[in-house]
Amino acid sequence: MLAMVPMIQSGCGLNFGLPLGIIAGLLGACISLELDVTGMFGFGVAILISIPFALLFGWLYAQILNRVKGSEMMIATYVGFFAVAMMCLGWMLLPFKSPYMIWGYGGEGLRTTVSVEAHWMHVLNDFLSIRIGERFFFPTGMFLFLAMMCAAVHFFMRTKSGAAMAAVGTNPDFARAAGVSVDKMRTLSVMMSTVIGAIGILVYEQSFGFIQLYMAPFYMAFPAVAAILLGGASIRKAGLANVIIGTLLFQGVVTMTPSVINSLIESDMSEVLRIIVSNGMILYALTRKEIVKR
């Protein structure tokens, strides 16, 4: 969700093109596995490799959005869908050779799910982690990394460029009169959002221990959009508080509701209920933006 903040602040709206950043992160992860680097160094290599891809994808994405001002969210959705579909071909055709990733029966193309267990699984989670008994585990390193990313975004928004970006989002005509390049600030925000999305998917992968390719990133933008709106953000203004509150609300409801309803109806429908609750919250959040706008 942190990737939503720069684009919302610059007036580009909700980042439905988040799959572009996710694809950049997946490319960084796959190349890291291909190089067979492990541990924290391997995770760092994945981040460093993903950033140039994210900057390139973000710049191209921004050129499209700068030409469709006022319809960014609709166009961004299809940009994300197009990129995911195109990369389905890429995952089959790119010349990866690592036995950890390619299909065993053909020796070509990447598997749908690739494990990172032998490389950099839990490198952040286990850093300074706290474990009490068998049931309590606190992934200190992951939260420290999240705090570092939040701090970086916070301090950037307080810089001259960050203030110019916020001015463009609030009143582009005033910003233009003050000498601010509207298109340049919008491009910067989109590139930032794409880079944060790439890094975010890598954090997800090290935590869960696998990489999901092909159509997996297709709808990943929607829960992030729903969560940040539920956290109190609007399509024109968002902050770190909205990110944190939205994450707690969205994940809390999605996690707890199936368990509660299963207990009431005495039946195991957790997956069905999870889908109903998750998509219901997304529907509520996406319609709520109109209420906020008025």
> In Å, what is the CA distance from 238 to each residue of 4, 170, 235?
8, 12, 8
Can you name the residues that pair with 115 across neighbouring β-strands? 210
> Average pLDDT, whole number, for the chain?
85
- Indicate the length of the chain as a whole number: 294
Query: For 68-121, what is each residue's pLDDT tens digit?
Result: 888 888 888 899 999 999 999 999 888 888 888 888 766 778 888 998 888 889
* Predicted confidence (pLDDT) at residue 188 exceeds the cutoff of 90: yes
Query: For 1-47, what is each residue's pLDDT tens digit?
Result: 788 999 998 888 888 889 999 999 999 999 999 998 989 999 999 99
**pTM for the complete prediction?**
0.88
Q: What is the dihedral of CA 263, 267, 268, 270, to 10 degrees?
A: -60
Identify the band that residue 294 occupies on the pLDDT scale cut at 50, 70 and 90: very low
The Cα–Cα gap between 37 and 231 comes to 38
* Predicted confidence (pLDDT) at residue 289 exceeds the cutoff of 60: no
Identify the band that residue 235 occupies on the pLDDT scale cut at 50, 70 and 90: confident
Identify the band that residue 290 occupies on the pLDDT scale cut at 50, 70 and 90: very low
Q: Which of 194, 159, 176 is nearest to 17 (CA)?
A: 194
The Cα–Cα gap between 187 and 202 comes to 23
